[in-house]
Amino acid sequence: MYVNAVAVLLSLVALVHCTAFRQNDTLSTTPTPGSFLLASNGSHPHILFDSKDSQSIAGAVTDLAQDFGRVFGTDATWQFLNATGMPIAPTGLTASTLTQPLIIVGSVGNSEIIDSLISSGKIEVSPIEGQWESYISTTVSNPWEGVDAALVIVGSDRRGTIYGMYDVSEQIGVSPLYWWADVPVKRKSAIYAMHTTKVVGAPSVQYRGLFINNAGPATYDYVVNHYANTTYTIGLGNDYYGHVFELILRLKGNLLWPETWYGMFNVDDPRNGLLADYYGVVMGTSHTEPMMRMSQEQSILLNGTWDWLGNEANVKTFMREGVHRSRNWESVYTTGMRGLGDASSPTLNATTEEQILAWQEDTLVDVLEVNRTEIPKIMVLFDELGSYYEQQGMQVPDDITLLYPDDNAGTMMRLPNSTDAERAGGLGIYYHMDMNAPPRCYKWINTIQTAKTWQQMELTYSHQARKLWMVNIGDIKALELPLSHVFDMAYDMDSFESLDSSSEWLTYWATKHFGSAVAEETTQIMTEYGMLIIRLKYEQLSSPPYFFNLYHYDEAESNIEAWRSLAARAQTVYNGLDPDTQPAFFEMILHACLGGSTVEDLYYNYWLNGLYAQQGRASTAKLALNVYELFGQDADLTYRFNNMLGGRWKGYADQVHIGYTTWADPLENIMPVPTFNASSGASGADVGVAIQGGLSTINSSSLTTISLDCSMPSTESRWIEVYAMANGTFGYTVASNASYLSLSQTTGQLVAPGALDSSDHRITLAVDWASAPPGSTTVALTVASANNQSIATIYVPVQNDQTPSNLTAGTFVASNGALSIEAEHYAPMANATVPITNATMTNATTPFYVVLPDYGRTLSGVTLYPYNCAPQDPSTAPYLTYPFYTAQAATNVNITVYIGPGMNIDAKNPMRWAVAVDQMAPIVVQPVYDYVIGPPVSTWQMPIEGIWTNGTIVGDVGAGQHELKVWALDAGLVLEKIVMDLGGLQSSYLGPPESMRV
């Protein structure tokens, strides 16, 4: 990274990147026709650049030189060029210099050596000339006399040139996350510059930024542990921000909103702004900090209160000073005004905001002395500013960029309509990957599903919000993966057209950071992680009742088994990595999997402990001990992260994440308190029996299980559990009165205290359907103690309705009065889907359905393409069909559609879906109520949980085969799952497992 100094080139510590996703390589580890050796263990290149070019380029040259040293053991050398003697040849070069491989860098119009190569016809820059942040990387033969060849990197501007240099760094093998995530550099014996030209045009999104927010306690503790305090606060100064600037550029971003809870960027360390300009990073301030004055400045440095109506003169002076202070640096100015400290103001409204905007624009023109249309300005339609705009009709000048907010949890609330898309100032988004707001903040570790991020960014981009993307990234640490993902999309959205691009990108990213040998497994791990974490963020797990159902469909158990399996797989990958790579894998993959699994397991044991106590199980105490043990494991994992590599990241793991009772984080992790004492039950009872559904019995009473149905999906099972109710050893027997119903275990001995599989025995029930009588029967299971004393009688309904052999292939078969369908498994229909190729997606005019792999909570999503298609009418819209069969007729059938956490991106056309059975008229449902952009409300709980579920009654459904039709009628609506209640649907969080298909 660069280290600030006075007037000249500063000493830097380098950081680097790998080849951009889907972009062509220009370097090779082996010679190719026309290539030349650029570096090896025995040689290093010499980098030439014009002393009159941007100082930001000079800084990146030092990075590039050091990157060669990281890979080959010796830094590249570099040299300013004296312009005297141009354009014939640079002066100041020695004979020994000319024998080294040469890299020439510079920007068009600012580097005389680059301009001389252009005028002599050695390079062609018309594809990038005048473009934003573009570059060409090419090999040039005989750039001047005595030099055989050179690698030339020419940018359209300073950042274009910098990106071209960092692209070389990526290709030689230095990760952009080498500093932030300890990704090791892979040494190479040689690297060759291939005889090729790479042209990289303007980024897809002009401004690509991150916002360091919600920085307590993690960033606060980290900075306190590693940097000296600044004038007013903790060490949010030059040393800290140098690493941030470097990261932004290495990820091909260009914009920063600095930390806002504690810091005053330009006050804490006066060098901060200078350093940002030196790096070439554009500065801005958050939605609540207009005119480059931060929240802490509003509290500490403003003369009087932050109140436009009550303190207008001082507020104007204060804002004007902010613009004047930053006038010589590249900036994006936040406009408008909110209350103090990320809150609404009781004295502001749409009319007042319009007056403020007019004054701010005049002030910017006056101080900066440029045309207003040349000044980058934004208004973030966040919280009350959104309601001023939508509800009160606030007029925002056309040259100001409108930033649309998400719902604080990664789902866009609005996107531009056709009128907005014509704004001269353009459009953008403010997007959260970390949140400190109702209904529940999430600030601990990565909780982002890449497939969902991709879907939201595709939706955003297709709606022309392409001027500025700002990502609230919390502390940065722990969110390196999703940050890299969204920045790669913002830089080159064309590379993400494929429906499989999320998994393809994960494989590319994992290869870059951990090696090709584990890339595919890492991709699968993080894909599974995304599907598990989108079900519920960790901070929600403390909310009663337990979200994952302990009684039905084995939902809670299946969920925790998936988490445990995921953690084990991640640990296996970690164990197989070389020691140098393990820290990076731990920081970005393993910590999330282990930490997530531990917290999920803690709450699973806590909620199960309550159920076991009600059932009188002796193992209640064992589950209580598990809670204590898992709470300790979580603390151990925090300690491990904070103290790894000699305390390198001490403080970054300090975020509280256990024991939430309100939306805000508690002061410390609070363990949920389990019970050690089970209900005593009937006097003298030693053995109890429980069935699915949470019911239990003792002392010769009876229970009836959920039916065993011949059409049950293979993932569903039936069982009973026999358990000890006291400490000791107790024998038991279980007998079936029907030969066609078998038991996985007929005798056993319970031992308590002990492991769960010693004190609690699960007995699985299975039916030989060929031998079972047709129709409905009931089997009795007798559970007795070892001395034949009766414990319980369990009645098991058996439903043997053989499925007709002539059903349409792919027909779903209902069982136990319910039907569950993953949306992806529709029947092919000419009017619903077309073969998905790049050509059909690029040239699409008529909407059709596409499957979004790995999206959502259980399998995938299905949505309309193009992503910006017009609202559809069910009478003409494409629809999905699902043939299904039910052996029993049902009345008042309810159909629930599970859709991804979308919002009404068009206020005038809210999302809708529709359903119909057979020839009935479609029933249209609006899953998300009409709303005005503004602060989050309690009814937004469902999208925070990663789903919307809405049901509608479709009437009676007779026995036999039917056709279910489902419509997605608006852009942004993603179908995940359809569940039909035919009279036997059990409550659950995720819905029943998918029904059997013939």
Peptide bond into 943 cis (omega under 30): no
374/454 same-domain check: yes
- With cut-offs at 50, 70 and 90, classify the pLDDT of residue 786: confident
Q: Does residue 669 lie within any of the structural domains?
A: no
pLDDT per residue over 393-420, tens digit each?
Answer: 999 999 999 999 999 999 999 999 888 8
640/695 same-domain check: no
Backbone torsion region of residue 909, taken as left when φ is above 0, otherwise alpha when ψ lies between -120 and 50, otherwise beta: beta
How far apart CA 354 and CA 605 sit, in angstroms, is: 55
Backbone torsion region of residue 788, taken as left when φ is above 0, otherwise alpha when ψ lies between -120 and 50, otherwise beta: left
Q: Does residue 504 lie within any of the structural domains?
A: no
- With cut-offs at 50, 70 and 90, classify the pLDDT of residue 6: very low
Compute the average pLDDT of residues 7-30: 55
How far apart CA 975 and CA 969 sit, in angstroms, is: 11
- How is residue 831 written in tokens? 């009017």
Domain CATH number, residue 940: 2.60.120.1620
Instruction: Tell whether the model's pLDDT for residue 101 goes beyond 70.
Output: yes
pLDDT (0 to 100) of residue 10: 24
190/213 same-domain check: no
Q: How many CA atoms lie within 13 A of 891 on its CB side?
A: 0
Whether the CA torsion 663, 666, 672, 673 is positive or negative: it is negative
Burial pattern 879-914, b for ≥16 Cβ within 10 A else e, equals: bbbbbbbbbeebeebebbbbbbbbbbbbeeebbbbb
- How is residue 839 written in tokens? 């050509």
Q: Can you name the residues that pair with 794 across neighbouring β-strands? A: 703, 781
The SS3 assignment for 621 reads helix
pLDDT (0 to 100) of residue 680: 65
pLDDT (0 to 100) of residue 939: 57
C-alpha of 392 from chain center: 33
Compute the average pLDDT of residues 742-751: 97
Domain CATH number, residue 729: 2.60.40.10
pLDDT (0 to 100) of residue 4: 31
Instruction: Tell whether the model's pLDDT for residue 682 goes beyond 60.
Output: no
Residues in the chain: 998
840/778 same-domain check: no
Q: Does residue 522 lie within any of the structural domains?
A: no
Q: Are strands 775-785 and 728-736 parallel, antiparallel or unpaired?
A: antiparallel
Q: What is the DSSP letter of 723?
A: E
pLDDT (0 to 100) of residue 844: 62
Instruction: Tell whether the model's pLDDT for residue 662 goes beyond 50.
Output: yes
Q: Does residue 841 lie within any of the structural domains?
A: yes
Q: Does residue 925 lie within any of the structural domains?
A: yes
pLDDT (0 to 100) of residue 11: 26
How far apart CA 863 and CA 603 sit, in angstroms, is: 34
398/324 same-domain check: yes
pLDDT (0 to 100) of residue 653: 97
Nearest Cα neighbor of 951 from 984, 923, 920 is 923
589/444 same-domain check: no
How far apart CA 947 and CA 608 sit, in angstroms, is: 24
46/181 same-domain check: yes
Compute the average pLDDT of residues 600-615: 98
pLDDT (0 to 100) of residue 95: 47
> DSSP alpha helices (H): ranges in 799-918?
838-842
pLDDT per residue over 843-879, tens digit each?
Answer: 567 899 999 999 999 999 999 999 999 999 999 999 9
Compute the average pLDDT of residues 315-344: 97
Instruction: Tell whether the model's pLDDT for residue 7 goes beyond 80.
Output: no
CB 258 within 8 A of CB 265: yes
Q: Does residue 352 lie within any of the structural domains?
A: yes
641/709 same-domain check: no
Nearest Cα neighbor of 884 from 799, 826, 946 is 826
pLDDT (0 to 100) of residue 860: 98
Domain CATH number, residue 256: 3.20.20.520
pLDDT per residue over 689-731, tens digit each?
Answer: 999 988 888 877 899 999 999 999 999 999 999 999 999 999 9
Instruction: Tell whether the model's pLDDT for residue 145 goes beyond 70.
Output: yes
pLDDT (0 to 100) of residue 936: 63
478/369 same-domain check: yes
Q: In total, how many domains does the chain have?
A: 5
**Please, what is the average pLDDT of the chain?**
92
How far apart CA 442 and CA 663 sit, in angstroms, is: 9
186/212 same-domain check: no
Q: Does residue 663 lie within any of the structural domains?
A: no
3-state secondary structure labels for all residues of 363-395: HHHHHHCCCHHHCCEEEECCCHHHHHHHCCCCC
What's the pTM?
0.94
pLDDT (0 to 100) of residue 84: 42
329/462 same-domain check: yes
Burial pattern 740-769, b for ≥16 Cβ within 10 A else e, equals: bbebeeeebebbbebebebbbbebebebee
CB 379 within 8 A of CB 336: yes
Write the single-letter amino acid at 412: M
Whether the CA torsion 750, 754, 758, 759 is positive or negative: it is positive
Per cent of the chain over pLDDT 90 is: 86
Beta strands in 82-148 (DSSP E): 102-107, 135-141
pLDDT (0 to 100) of residue 5: 28
Q: Does residue 678 lie within any of the structural domains?
A: no
CB 509 within 8 A of CB 484: yes
Task: Specify the DSSP element, H or E, that contains 313.
Answer: helix 312-325
How far apart CA 185 and CA 72 sit, in angstroms, is: 10
Domain CATH number, residue 55: 3.30.379.10
pLDDT (0 to 100) of residue 19: 45
pLDDT (0 to 100) of residue 787: 78
275/318 same-domain check: yes
CB 51 within 8 A of CB 1: no
- How is residue 380 written in tokens? 């973030």
Task: Specify the DSSP element, H or E, that contains 702.
Answer: strand 701-704
CB 963 within 8 A of CB 882: yes
Instruction: Tell whether the model's pLDDT for residue 838 goes beyond 50.
Output: no
pLDDT (0 to 100) of residue 842: 53
Compute the average pLDDT of residues 256-270: 95
Q: Which of 618, 647, 676 marks a domain boundary?
A: 647
Which position has the higher pLDDT, 643 or 143? 643
The SS3 assignment for 303 reads coil
Write the single-letter amino acid at 887: A
Q: How many CA atoms lie within 13 A of 599 on its CB side?
A: 26
Instruction: Tell whether the model's pLDDT for residue 830 goes beyond 80.
Output: no
Q: Which of 742, 772, 800 marks a domain boundary?
A: 800
Q: What is the DSSP string of 336-357?
A: S--BTTTB--TT--HHHHHHHH
Q: Which of 200, 231, 256 marks a domain boundary?
A: 200
- With cut-offs at 50, 70 and 90, classify the pLDDT of residue 791: confident
How far apart CA 400 and CA 334 sit, in angstroms, is: 9
- Residue range of the domain that includes 698: 687-800
Compute the average pLDDT of residues 126-132: 97
